[in-house]
Structure 1
Amino acid sequence: MSIGAVARRVRAYGGQFLLLAALAMVVLALIGGVPRLVNGRAEEGLRTFLAGQPAAARDVTYGTESIFNAGNGTSLMEAFAADLPRLEAEMPPDVRALVDQRWFAAETDAGRLTGPDLAAENLLVDLGLRSLPGIADAGSLTEGRWPDPAAPPGQPVQVALAGEVARKLNLRVGSRLTLAGPASASPEGAPDPVRIVVVGVFEPRDRADGIWQGLPQVLHVVEPPGDAQPFVALGVADGAALDRLSADGWGLRFTWRYRMGASGIHAADVDQLIGDLQRMSRRAEGRVFTQGLDIPLREFQGQVAAVRTVLAVIAAGVLAALAGLVILAAGLTVRRRRTEFTLLRARGGTAGSVAARSLAESMLVLLPAAAVGWALGNLAPGPAADSLPAAVVATALIVLALPVAALAAPTGVAGRRDLVRLRPSTRRITVEAAVLLLAAVAVLLLRRRGLVPGVVDPLLVSVPVLLAAAAAVLAVRLYPWPLRLLGRLAARTRGSVAFLGSARAARAVVTTPLVVVVLAVATAAFCAVVTAGVAVSRDEVAGRRVPADALIQGQRLAPETGAELARLPGVRRATPVLQESGQRLATDERGTDLRTGDVTVLLVDGPALAGLVRDSGVRVTLPQALVAPAAAGPLPAVVSPAVAADLAAAGRDGSAFVGVQNQRYEFRVAGQAETFPLLRADTTRFVVLPWQGLPRRSTGAVPTGFLVAGDHLDVSELRRVGNEGQRRFQQDAGLVGREPPREVEVLTWADVRQQVGEGSMNGVLGFGFVAGAVAGTVLGLLAIGFVVLAGARARGQVLSRLRTLGLSRGQWRGLLLVELGPLVAVAVVTGAVVGALLPLLLTPVLGLSAFTGGAPVRVAFEPRLVAGVIALGAVALGFAIAVEALNNRRMRLGEVLRLGEES
């Protein structure tokens, strides 16, 4: 066969080969481009995810215990400062490439600080001294100067303090103090006290600068944990002063801290990076090695595993639909050339020669098309993926599709298929039964065996395809029966449109096209349903954390703060909440310990909270025990299963006591819940009490927060009112002398929902769902077009005959609607049902809880899916009629009748 002869045949059947070439380009473009797009989004998500982590999570720190000067004149500061570049050079290459900033610090243990300025405020303070090279560039002096490195020995140690530290400790430039040596600093005992003088007060130029984020921080005072406990603070001293203290018996601790940036990391290297961090921990050479980077990296890996699994399912559906379209296109091409192949066989040609001729044509057209598609796919942004083997296999299968279809095509003169009722052959029945059996076995194995997340499991990716194929086979075998009944009823009515249309629809044999349509629509429906389920689950997670439009959390707020909040613009309701952790269960009001674990106690005003939840529209359901009006006897409580088990084992589920703000309340177990709104997801021991049922006491319960419902809330105003409520409570309680409380925290439902749905691999997951839904819809419409084209010649003959008998153009459109409508409706509805049921089977093994804050994805009926199915069915039917009309115009009905008669 010459190339010219092959090219002439390709030109003669240019439309069919152009269709096959377009499909080959699409398949190879997807194989080459989609992995690049996914990798690019994964890289972007990883960098965004790491950049949003707290600073401590991105720091790799080496540290030492207290080291004492050997007395040989060596400067410990100079010796250990030289280790900053050396330790970085010893890091594994991928870790070293991420280092963005580095800091060296030396400090003493905290000793007791005394002086007249502290005594004036009756302050108990422990102070440590820290040397931070580069602090003069990171801080700005507001008073005085920085410690002088050339200060002579024997003079007081010069110290600079952060502005907040100086204010809280009543210190200023010129304050003279005495610092006692730590009692456990040296084996020989505590060193002699040293004199301290404050020479400077500074403020940070940028509080986010990593130099300030060593623990404990230089910028803040650590509040005393209880009564008679000291404040803890740090002062900045020069390295030379610390060297002199070391020579006098003071121990020094050294830290080398490296801040990991996000710009140099690649998603493909995360596993290697985690392993290198673990090896660095084992090779710390006696230093204290601290890092928290592996925790967010492992969290990211969990999301990567889930995304990889989900994308494998979506890709399997899309590629299977494309493969079906290639088969349909090849079959359509062979059907159009059936006369040619029959003539070749009649002239002595063999099946092999027919296949060789088709293979030559296929290679001439499809190999260049596949190469162009692969090149276009590799133009997509993102790191390259190892998809070349898949591309080679796909190209080989596409090229072989046409010769295989030519081998399988029957030869001889075709009969009038529209005049007989075709019965399926034994081979077809066997294949369809095998598909049904395989689908059932695959589902059973998947449910029993489970799945390893992150692994592209052949069983997992084959289950949706097999289920769609099985559903299509059942639909093909079942839907003609009601149509035949409809045909009998239509035969008794006037007019021929309903009768002819239902009769032709009942005789239609379109198993392969229907399978492709069902598979494509099922992929789109699966993506839509899972997307809705993930969104609902994220709403529920945000609702559990903030079961209102906003939550104000603090220490203790004056009860009238709720009324102040209600007067703010946009606020409709405000209700108090009280939460205390670390409480003990007791057997009586005196506090006899029940000897169980600590519990977290939450008080909510049930009726008020229920109304606020309804007003906010948050997806939260409150137990009836908390909403019921107050009644005599123990308070009805909702407890966690762990607390319920402890109470039942102790026989106290009907009456027990729990402390709340130094008051004890009797309660009984009225219900159990795995989680409860406002509590952390990892809280496994809690007791929730109804505020409206609390007995009257001399000291009432004081809110620790408020829930707010409203529109267009001003977060700054909510924070202002919350802070005023905290200060008002301190004043009313006579706690004026205490340090002002920390600012309240204001969380809005919208912000929490955004945090749950953004970052890391969420963009990749959303891209996969959108791409799957769009691709499934488009491929479904294309498959319906193939359904129309497959029967276009037969319908053209019928139309020619009926038009000759007087059928009008409007009646022909009605006949086409009756014939194609049931097929399109069955295909779309079957695909939608399969796609809606697939999440029930696959969601438990997809690991999507990594994208919902750990909450399982809830798959429920989605009303919008029904509207989508109806719209898709209407579009598909309109598309089918448009394809038929264009095809009829192209073929010219008179020539179809004259040339297509094969009697």
Structure 2
Amino acid sequence: MRIALLARAHAGTLAVLFALSALACLLVSGLPRATQGAYDRALREALSAAPAVQADLTVAGESRSPREDLRDPAAFAERERRLRPLLPAALRPLVAAGHMSAKTSRTPVTGTGGQTYVNLGWLSDAGRRVEWVAGRAPGAPSTTRFRGQTIPLFEVGVVEEAVRQMDLRVGQTRTLGESDFAAVRVVGVFRAKDPSDRAWGHDQDLLHVTKLQPPGELDFEFHTTTLISDAGLAALSGEARNLTYRWVLPVNARAASAMSVSEVEAGVAELGRLLTLQATSAGPYRLETGLPKLLGDFAAALTTAQTVMYLVLAGLLAVALGVIVLGVRLLTDRLDQALALARARGGSLRQVAGTGAALTAVAVGPAVLAGWALAGLVPGPALPVAHLGPAFVLVAGVGFAAARTALAHRAPLHERRGDGAAARPSARRITVEVLVVVLALAGAYLLRQRGLSAAAGLDPFLLLVPIALTLAAALVTARCYPYPLRLLVRVAARGRAAVPFLGLTRAARARAAGGLPVLILLPALAVSVFAAVIADGIDGTQRLASWQQVGAPIRITSPIEIPAATIDRIRATPGVEQVVTAQTGRVQLGYASESAEALAVDVAQWRRLLDGAPVALPEPPRGGSALVSPELRGRGTLDVGWQSRVKVRVQGVAESVPGFARGGKFLVLPMTVLTRPAVNTLLVKGDVAPEALARLVPSGAVESQERALAAIRDDPLTGAVRTTLAVVTAALAFYALVAVVLSLVVGAADRARTVSFLRTLGLSDRQARRLTMLEVLPMVLVTAAAGLALGLGLPAALGPGIDLSAYAGDLPVGGYDPGLLTPAALAAGLAMVAVLGAYAHTALNRRRGLGDALRAGDLS
């Protein structure tokens, strides 16, 4: 047959099929690219935001004797050249050029009683990273005499902070050690050229003085690491002190990919194993890194994101294929008479089926290429599904056209009666459908009972249960929705009006093919409502998490007391409505070493400040009583050491306090129990910029609920989930509307013949419109109700399988309470399209002559 002639004759239907196929391919190919790109950005931001000591790989070794010492930078470089080949293949693209260091630890200053420690440190790239603000750079070491023996004398540079806090001045000489001595002479003072350089994350001991309070001691220890020259390595030995060599292999976050997280985790474990097997003169190596934990946390959040994405994308693909199948069915119905004539004239079944498949390929083939090409413009890596999805659309569309044409025309001059009763379903079919329903319900129950699989990666059980539930709901709806209509038919039969009886009768006697729109509409509505419910749940929990983090619209915290005059200026700032003062600190419980976090605040005022917020505060403590965390319950009376000794009675238990504590040991006291409150926290309500308050409290840190919410929402992984859910919701709503329109068009010929017959009996145009609506609306409304119910119930049915806390400020997303806007809009949209389609169909049918319609019906 001439494909070009048939294509011109059915250009409108082919255009619709082209648009549906192109959109489907764009979505199933573009959305995975976009989401994977977001996953990659999220991983890169997580690695970039993490401290360098956690994200980077550091190979460490210790020297304990002169034969293990590395005496010059060349020895370090040679050792690094040996280490690089040990990197597994998954790590090599991630590891960039790093630096090396040699440092002593816990090197006491002689005569300080272990209160002052000055360590020696060497950096391979010190010339690039530091600048000298006083004195000069260290030179070669020499010797000096101390207690009758010759000891090495190192020229060192110290950081500016050590000059202020440890009284280390240029020209000063200090002796180190308690038995094996060495001396250092301060010849210069340095600072970091770029303190934000990630490399300093490994060398914070060089930039800052560390203050430590040993257990049971009242005094602090002061530690600093000085900088020696390359020549100083010749005199630096691990024989008499703790000497550690490190080779820092920084991880390039920009080269990270979410697809290779598991391979990188395995590579880190393999590198650690290989390092322990290396036998060198410097002793065994060890790997120091927090990368596995970072990747593990990210992988946990990624698994949930991928699960939700696969759920909604699988539903989108199924619905898109269903709509395409409905479009192909419309095309094959239009070809029915031409193919029947060709079959009657001697055409083979292969030729007839090939014609249907070829004509479908004329529309679907270019559409698949166009959608796939447009998806290539979406930024993100091309996953296999980005190529397999469009190919599956092409095979499904063309294959359905060939199969349906072959089945319809397997015998020449086939005849189908429109007045015959529909065949009863076989026992085998009913058994299969019942089995599907039972398995779906059992799967949902088991998923709630056992939760997710502990194995890494996606849990197939979680992906199969929603599909089974949707299929079961569609089967039940398609099988059962004619029965309540038959009851309505009996009621309508008692009335005098013929239109309700005829319309409901046609709806109740829909053929088995009429169930195809149900199988499309129900998943479309269920998945779109599910996506909307999940998005609403994430949005509400994100807002709750932001209030939990801050505890007020604006919170100001200061390490020192905020003066009363400053508080008065804040109260007088335009836009400020309310200010609640508070004091926080760590207090001693009893007279032992037990301690807890304490908050002194007027809880009643705080509750008024939070009026209308989604967080709730406990009832305020009365008198001198306190609220305590669950770990402190049952204490009766607490002796609290805070400014002075205070005894408070435990009044109640608070699981958490917004903006203050979510766990651990804590207590909430009234401000009146303090002898002289030293306010260091302000809770502010009003329409005022946080920057304006920050200028009034230079020593304070200003946090706002709006900023906390923006930080949660701006996470790339969270943004990917929210964006994909929104796109899928809109796409499925569109497909649901298209399915309604196509279902009207597919049955248009049969409906036109019926209306034409009835018009010869006096049916008016108004009655024809009502008849069409009564025929179509029951299927739409029943399916919409079932789809909405399933979509609202899926989050609860999946239960522990969906843990979205990673996208909601680490708060569990549960108790989904969606608004009625989305379900009402979807149901109203479908009903409106059905009504408009009925009116349009009646209007178009009115233009046709009664003779044309009847002759067309007679030919069939």
TM-score, structure 2 normalization: 0.84
> Deviation of residue 505 (structure 1)?
4.5
1:302-313 maps to which residues of 2 (within 5 A)? 302-313=300-311
* In structure 1, C-alpha distance between the alignment counterparts of 2:762 and 2:134, rounded to whole Å: 104
* In structure 1, C-alpha distance between the alignment counterparts of 2:544 and 2:599, rounded to whole Å: 19
1:666-677 maps to which residues of 2 (within 5 A)? 666-668=648-650, 670-671=652-653, 673=655, 675-677=656-658
1:102 aligns with 2:98: yes
> Once the two structures are superposed, what CA deviation does each residue of 1:474-512 show, in whole Å capped at 9, x if it has no partner?
445665566667667778889776666555545555322
Instruction: Return the match for 1:705 from 678, 681, 699.
Output: 681
> Unaligned 5+ residue runs, structure 1?
184-188, 724-743
**Matching residue of 1:443:** 444
1:144-159 maps to which residues of 2 (within 5 A)? 144-149=135-140, 157-159=154-156
Match of 1:105, SS state, is: strand
* In structure 1, C-alpha distance between the alignment counterparts of 2:839 and 2:38, rounded to whole Å: 38
Instruction: Return the match for 2:220 from 219, 223, 229.
Output: 229
> Deviation of residue 856 (structure 1)?
1.6
**Matching residue of 2:189:** 201
**Matching residue of 1:731:** none
1:217 aligns with 2:205: yes
> Deviation of residue 317 (structure 1)?
1.0
Match of 2:405, SS state, is: helix
1:784 aligns with 2:777: no
> Once the two structures are superposed, what CA deviation does each residue of 1:665-699 show, in whole Å capped at 9, x if it has no partner?
333363463x4423555x3x33433426x6x46x3
| Distance change in 2, residues 1:889/1:229 (3 Å) | same
| Amino acid in structure 2 at the alignment position of 1:749 | Q
Instruction: Return the match for 1:717 from 693, 709, 720.
Output: 693
| Matched-pair identity in % | 28
> Once the two structures are superposed, what CA deviation does each residue of 1:558-616 show, in whole Å capped at 9, x if it has no partner?
584654543334332232444455854x5xxxx589xxx865444443212211222xx
| Distance change in 2, residues 1:720/1:157 (3 Å) | farther
Report if the CA contact (8 A) 1:111-1:179 is conserved.
Answer: no
| Amino acid in structure 2 at the alignment position of 1:52 | A
| Amino acid in structure 1 at the alignment position of 2:290 | G
> Deviation of residue 841 (structure 1)?
1.6
* In structure 1, C-alpha distance between the alignment counterparts of 2:68 and 2:296, rounded to whole Å: 46
**Matching residue of 1:566:** 571
| Distance change in 2, residues 1:238/1:334 (3 Å) | closer
* In structure 2, C-alpha distance between the alignment counterparts of 1:29 and 1:263, rounded to whole Å: 27
1:471 aligns with 2:470: no
Report if the CA contact (8 A) 1:321-1:519 is conserved.
Answer: yes
1:53 aligns with 2:45: no
Which sits farther off after the overlay, 755-764 or 304-313?
A: 755-764
> Deviation of residue 103 (structure 1)?
1.9
> Deviation of residue 890 (structure 1)?
8.8
Report if the CA contact (8 A) 1:576-1:703 is conserved.
Answer: yes
> Deviation of residue 894 (structure 1)?
6.0
**Matching residue of 1:665:** 647
**Matching residue of 2:281:** none
Instruction: Return the match for 1:691 from 641, 649, 670.
Output: 670
Which sits farther off after the overlay, 557-566 or 307-316?
A: 557-566
* In structure 2, C-alpha distance between the alignment counterparts of 1:85 and 1:113, rounded to whole Å: 36
| Distance change in 2, residues 1:51/1:237 (3 Å) | same
Match of 1:627, SS state, is: coil
Match of 2:62, SS state, is: coil
| Amino acid in structure 2 at the alignment position of 1:689 | V
Report if the CA contact (8 A) 1:308-1:455 is conserved.
Answer: no
**Matching residue of 1:735:** none
| Distance change in 2, residues 1:231/1:460 (3 Å) | closer
* In structure 2, C-alpha distance between the alignment counterparts of 1:889 and 1:494, rounded to whole Å: 25
| Distance change in 2, residues 1:256/1:466 (3 Å) | closer
Report if the CA contact (8 A) 1:519-1:831 is conserved.
Answer: yes
* In structure 2, C-alpha distance between the alignment counterparts of 1:164 and 1:181, rounded to whole Å: 20
**Matching residue of 1:621:** 616
Report if the CA contact (8 A) 1:638-1:689 is conserved.
Answer: yes
Report if the CA contact (8 A) 1:309-1:455 is conserved.
Answer: no
| Amino acid in structure 1 at the alignment position of 2:177 | P
> Unaligned 5+ residue runs, structure 2?
146-151, 279-283
Instruction: Return the match for 1:530 from 530, 534, 559.
Output: 534
1:227-626 maps to which residues of 2 (within 5 A)? 227-244=218-235, 246=237, 252-284=243-275, 285=278, 286-339=284-337, 355=353, 358-359=356-357, 366=364, 370=368, 373-374=371-372, 377-378=375-376, 380-387=378-385, 395-409=394-408, 413-415=415-417, 417=419, 425-426=425-426, 433-452=434-453, 455=457, 457=459, 459-476=461-478, 501=503, 504-508=506-510, 510-555=514-559, 557-558=561-562, 560=564, 562-580=567-585, 583-584=588-589, 591=591, 599-614=596-611, 617-623=612-618, 626=619
Match of 1:316, SS state, is: helix
Instruction: Return the match for 1:177 from 172, 177, 180.
Output: 172
Match of 1:860, SS state, is: coil
TM-score, structure 1 normalization: 0.81
* In structure 2, C-alpha distance between the alignment counterparts of 1:249 and 1:690, rounded to whole Å: 53
* In structure 2, C-alpha distance between the alignment counterparts of 1:755 and 1:688, rounded to whole Å: 29
1:79 aligns with 2:75: yes
> Deviation of residue 533 (structure 1)?
0.7
Report if the CA contact (8 A) 2:65-2:239 is conserved.
Answer: no
